[in-house]
Chain A
Amino acid sequence: MGTSNGDDTGTHRRSTGRSAGSSATGVPEPADGGSRGTTAAPGEVRLRRALGLTGATMTSTGLAFAVIDYIAVVSVLTYAAGVSGWMAVMIAGLLVAVVAGVFAELNGLYPTAAGIRLYISRALSERSALVITFTYLTTVVLVIAADAFLIGSAIRHVVGGPPIAAYGWIIGLLVLAVVANLFGVRLAGTVQTIVTLTVLVATFVLSVVSLFTVHASYPHPFGLFHGGIFHGLQALVFAIFLYAAFEWVTTGAEEVSRPAVITKALFIAPVLLFAVLGVFSLALAHAVSFSSSHGSAYPQLLLGKAALGEVGTIWMLGATVLAAMNTFNGGFLVASRFIYAAAREGLLPRVFSRLNIRAVPWAAVIALGVTSAVVAALVFATKQWLLLVAVGSVLEAGIYAVAGYCVYALRRKDRARERPFALKFATFFSVFSMVVFGVLALVGAFSDPQHPSHLSVLPALVVVILAALSLLYVRAGVPRIRAKAEARSAASRPRRRPPRESPPSVA
């Protein structure tokens, strides 16, 4: 190390006798004397533990693959004729590939965990970014609540008991997730990768098995638009939901050594999701009657039973539990840290920035758990789980349209900034994203798979209420909280940094 005040060695240490970068952290010192961290290839940084391509791909896939996806497949089948749901999953996958390109460019531009908010604030405005991000955050809560409800229902289906027992399971699981989070217990990267892989393989294998063991017909295998173009589009918007949250892997942008890892993960994850959910869609339509799956909160268990009897039911219950574990692990982590950061910035009440002794933002974790329990109770009471899929689909398609706009706007506003991944034909694809996902969001806003025979304003109503609450909060609540935080900060103590006595010299 170089020279510094009052220390010949240039290091400032507390008589531990350690040399920087070696025994203090257990980091093996490189043989060349320890500059390995700075000798990386251009554009690449060296981190002791960086997220690799497998980890990033599994993170992306795991974030997207929640228990609610099994229900979303039912929503797709509601509008896709015969067994043609797989076509909707495939077309949605192709559209999501464009989204992958869009997010890859944005991630390269601003490789930070605060990604989506940063893109929108640069492309639109800070206020728009906050409104959209807060609304977007509700998707996380919806998915956590939905997964809690669905796994509670699935367990109750297998172990039996009165209907209220399902809610008991829901509360029990949420309490478990909250307590685990408060104690800082979370799945390590490798475990998460294994869990995700297990869920994918279990679902894929059982789906393939059912195609061979169940002897039924395959009506309209290519007839996605057989029931009309609008029904085809409705199937498509719910198929988009199957990929929802794959883009959250961009929040891991700081954990990779180079942006290309995230870029590749963004393109590979949709392929894996298509392979598994496309086959699952085909299998479910083939092996389970629509009347059974449409009214069920556990269609995957019905498929398991159709394929392998009780063994299949337990098999899919295992996959369901693992998928929910992933959701609780990732969802609580992403959402509670977002809430913490927002509170630290003065956008949410100060209590949400409080940390427990394990450095966990306890108020944020508890608030998430309680909100999820309330939403799950509403779903339990109203049996409107398919509405959650519809709302999630609209929000997700909306976000993809906004992301398309961000690329379009930033290509003009921030032309000079380096783009490690530059989307080819950016103008075309960004406009394409805005139009296609904008239209799909509109279609989804008036589609309730619970009542497929007619248009419904319910999803639109829920989304508008969420957005209005978010807007109201950003316009009225945030300025007050910010003013309080600033007043508190100014009053709490004077500036600590000593004033300069003479102009500083350049190092």
Chain B
Amino acid sequence: MANWDELAEALADYQTTCNGNARLRKMQKDWSKLLHFIAEDNGVRFTMVVDHGEIVEYGQDHTGVPDIIVTTDSETFCDMFWGDLNPVAKYLRGEIKVKGSQEDVMRLDAISFVIWPD
């Protein structure tokens, strides 16, 4: 089980990697979303704000009304943000649950795919 500090460390790396990827920024330039994340195993909740493809902020707890809600366990979140696992397999097995439009769900996965092609 990962705690918030570990999640925050993973998120910081994710933010740097995403925002530093020119292709991703171009691809997601029309994508501005508010994302909520829920770690089911320890109850940690956090929010991420994406503005025109740039992750402008993230933080503990939920704020605002989200466009997307992602629910899984804290370890999966950590591995996902560090790019150590492909979220699609877990999503298709029902281990990562997402609420939001199909387009947004795909865009979310596209981020991982573009910054970590394999």
Contact = CB atoms under 8 A, between A and B. Distances in A.
Interface string A346-361: 1000000101011100
A355 B114 CA distance: 9
A41 interface: no
Which interface residue of B55, B78, B118 has the most chain A CB atoms within 10 A?
B118
A18 B67 contact: no
Contacts of B78: 497
Contact of B106 (A5, A337, A346, A496): A337
Nearest to A495: B84
Contact of A46 (B13, B51, B65): B65
Given A5-B5, A507-B43, A47 B60 contact: no
A12 B49 contact: no
Given A20-B59, A21-B63, A337 B49 contact: no
B61 A48 contact: no
A507 B102 contact: no
A21 B49 contact: yes
Given A254-B99, A344-B86, A492-B118, A13 B57 contact: yes
A86 B31 CA distance: 47
A12 B11 contact: yes
A255 B100 contact: yes
A355 B103 CA distance: 13
Contacts of A252: 102
Contact of B67 (A36, A49, A488): A49
Interface residues of B, number: 76
Nearest to B80: A497
A463 interface: no
A254 B68 CA distance: 9
A506 to B, nearest CB: 6
Contact of B51 (A24, A36, A254): A24
Contacts of A118: 92-94
Contacts of A47: 65-69, 99-100
B27 A489 contact: no
Contacts of B34: 20-21, 24-25, 27, 48
Interface string B73-99: 010001100111010110111100111
A117 B94 CA distance: 10
Which interface residue of A11, A16, A19, A489 has the most chain B CB atoms within 10 A? A11
Interface string A310-353: 00000000000000000000000100010011001110000001
A21 B113 contact: no
A13 B99 contact: no
A27 B68 CA distance: 13
A12 B110 contact: no
Contacts of A344: 86, 88, 109, 113
Interface stretch (A107-115, A227-235, A381-389, A466-474): A107-115
A341 B114 CA distance: 14
Given A12-B12, A34-B64, A251 B51 contact: no
A30 B11 CA distance: 26
B76 to A, nearest CB: 12
Given A252-B102, A355-B110, A11 B58 contact: yes
A500 B82 CA distance: 14
A348 B62 CA distance: 37
Contacts of A1: 46-47, 59-61, 63
A9 B59 CA distance: 9
B57 A20 contact: yes
Given A9-B59, A18-B57, A355 B64 contact: no
Given A27-B34, A113-B105, A357-B26, A20 B66 contact: no
Nearest to B112: A344
B57 A11 contact: yes
B95 to A, nearest CB: 10
A10 interface: yes
A401 B85 CA distance: 35
26 contacts: A1-B60, A4-B5, A5-B5, A10-B61, A20-B47, A24-B32, A24-B49, A24-B57, A25-B67, A35-B63, A36-B64, A47-B66, A255-B99, A344-B86, A344-B109, A346-B89, A357-B27, A359-B28, A359-B31, A488-B118, A496-B13, A498-B9, A500-B6, A506-B1, A506-B42, A507-B4
Interface of B: 1-6, 8-13, 15, 19, 23, 26-28, 31-34, 36, 42-47, 49-51, 54-69, 74, 78-79, 82-84, 86, 88-89, 91-94, 97-102, 105-107, 109-110, 113-114, 117-118
Given A14-B54, A341-B91, A496-B83, 19 more contacts: A1-B63, A3-B60, A4-B5, A4-B60, A5-B12, A10-B61, A12-B11, A14-B15, A18-B51, A20-B59, A21-B63, A24-B50, A24-B57, A25-B67, A47-B68, A48-B65, A111-B97, A346-B89, A359-B110
